[in-house]
Amino acid sequence: MTQGALTILGLETSCDETAAAIVRLSDAGVEVLADRIASQTEAHALYGGVVPEIAARAHVERLDGLIRLALADAGETFATLDGVAATSGPGLIGGVMVGLSTAKAIALARGLPLIAVNHLEGHALSPRLGAAVAYPYLLLLVSGGHCQFIAVEGLGRYRRMGSTIDDAAGEAFDKTAKLLGLDAPGGPAVEREAESGDARTVNLPRPLLDRPGLDMSFSGLKTAVRRAASESELTDRRRADICASFQEAVADILATKSARAMQRFEDDHDGQRTFVVAGGVAANRMLRARLEAEARFAGFSFFAPPLRWCTDNAAMIALAGAERLRAGLTDGLDTPARARWPLDQDSAPAYGGGKKGAKA
């Protein structure tokens, strides 16, 4: 083992993925030793969305087995770990409790430090899993529940620069998919359909682009998609065209706001120029290409995690746990599971003294 290396087990159970991973953090960098995930997509398919009770039960059934597999993959045992990290919010509370309680049990039984990780911090640090991305960097966090620009100034130092004022980008993908009768998860389904569609055929709005600032809005887009879907017969061709037009509208909004955010980030951070995108929607290839082009144009280096670390996973939780442990930040066994937990709360003031409590 490298001197000073930390080997951490991470657990993720905040939504509909049950995951366990083992990450080693050392002076040499980050190594993902094991990365196990069990998706619950099929369990929720009948209901048109994630059912919290079904999700929590599935986490209970699967988590122990995934931990065993992760330990075997990594060639580790509980005795060789340096700590155990779990998502402790935000998310579906029943699921979060399963992962956090499991981590507490392991910590107590094995005398290991417990690290309670904010799921959003996991996403925020996820680009560091696959590349040496140095602080500070500008983060566009785009997931099913969140859409925010965040200045990541260091571990635990996050300043929100702008966010959606209504739906998250991933939520817009999911609602669009549902409206068009596509299977969950919506993002990949819309992306697949969009490949054979023509983005110029359906005229969709780009809300808030005409206004200054970094806030975003996606709910008008969903309404426009509903109208487009009912205007004429929903043939395969029409469905693909709506998907392509929708994806292009989301990419336009995110790319335009990203250009603005990069300018502001650079001004406020001594000319530092690193831009990263993370979260489930960052798995969208067309969006990644658009953001990369925008970054190149602005003279920023660009990082996006490999696709499997964009959507929910435990490797990002293990990495956040390892970074926290290295900084001496551990949590007591009485630490609560939280349904809501804004990333910048208790870590840095809202950007530019902006209002707290905006949708996290």
Please give the residue ranges that form the binding site for ligand KG4 (CB under 6 A). 15, 143-145, 170, 173-174, 185-188, 191, 279-281, 283-284, 311-312
**CA distances for 210 relative to 165, 232, 257, angstroms:** 15, 29, 11
Nearer to Zn ion, 145 or 207 (CB): 145
| Residues making up the chain, counted from first to last | 360
| Per CB under 5 A, 118 contacts Zn ion | no
Report how far residue 255's alpha carbon sits from residue 246's, in angstroms, rounded to the nearest whole number: 14
Written as one letter, the residue type at 285 is: R
Residues 51-80 that bind Zn ion (CB under 5 A): none
Binding-site partner at residue 253 among ligand KG4, Zn ion, none, CB < 5 to 8 Å by type:
none
Assign residue 146 a region (left: φ > 0; alpha: ψ between -120 and 50; beta: otherwise).
beta
Minimum separation from the CB atom of position 173 to ligand KG4 (A): 4
| Per CB under 5 A, 313 contacts Zn ion | no
| Per CB under 5 A, 13 contacts Zn ion | no
Closest CA to 305 of 133, 182, 130: 130
| Per CB under 5 A, 163 contacts Zn ion | no
| Residue 338: count of CB within 10 angstroms of its CB | 17
User: Which DSSP symbol is given to 77?
Assistant: -
| Per CB under 5 A, 171 contacts Zn ion | no
| Per CB under 5 A, 312 contacts Zn ion | yes
Report how far residue 59's alpha carbon sits from residue 38's, in angstroms, rounded to the nearest whole number: 9
Minimum separation from the CB atom of position 185 to ligand KG4 (A): 4
Give strand ranges (E) for 66-179. 83-89, 114-118, 137-142, 147-154, 157-163
Strands 114-118 and 83-89: parallel
- Scanning 90-98, 143-151, 216-224, 288-296 for contacts with Zn ion by CB under 5 A, the matching segment is 143-151
Nearer to ligand KG4, 157 or 285 (CB): 285
| Per CB under 5 A, 143 contacts Zn ion | yes
Nearer to ligand KG4, 175 or 260 (CB): 175
| Per CB under 5 A, 215 contacts Zn ion | no
| Residue 115, both tokens | 């690290």
Report how far residue 119's alpha carbon sits from residue 15's, in angstroms, rounded to the nearest whole number: 10
* Total binding residues toward Zn ion, as defined by CB under 5 A: 2
**CA distances for 29 relative to 200, 315, 323, 328, angstroms:** 45, 14, 11, 18
Minimum separation from the CB atom of position 152 to ligand KG4 (A): 16
Binding-site partner at residue 145 among ligand KG4, Zn ion, none, CB < 5 to 8 Å by type:
ligand KG4
| Per CB under 5 A, 17 contacts Zn ion | no
User: Which DSSP symbol is given to 216?
Assistant: B
Nearer to ligand KG4, 174 or 248 (CB): 174
| Residue 93: count of CB within 10 angstroms of its CB | 17
- Scanning 138-146, 177-185, 210-218, 241-249 for contacts with Zn ion by CB under 5 A, the matching segment is 138-146
Nearer to Zn ion, 255 or 316 (CB): 316
**Residue 260: in which H helix or E strand, if any?**
helix 236-268
Residues 9 and 106: beta-carbon distance below 8 Å: yes
Minimum separation from the CB atom of position 72 to ligand KG4 (A): 25
Nearer to ligand KG4, 35 or 191 (CB): 191
Minimum separation from the CB atom of position 295 to ligand KG4 (A): 19
Closest CA to 321 of 88, 147, 68: 88
Nearer to ligand KG4, 83 or 187 (CB): 187
- Which residues in this chain contact Zn ion in the complex, by CB under 5 A? 143, 312
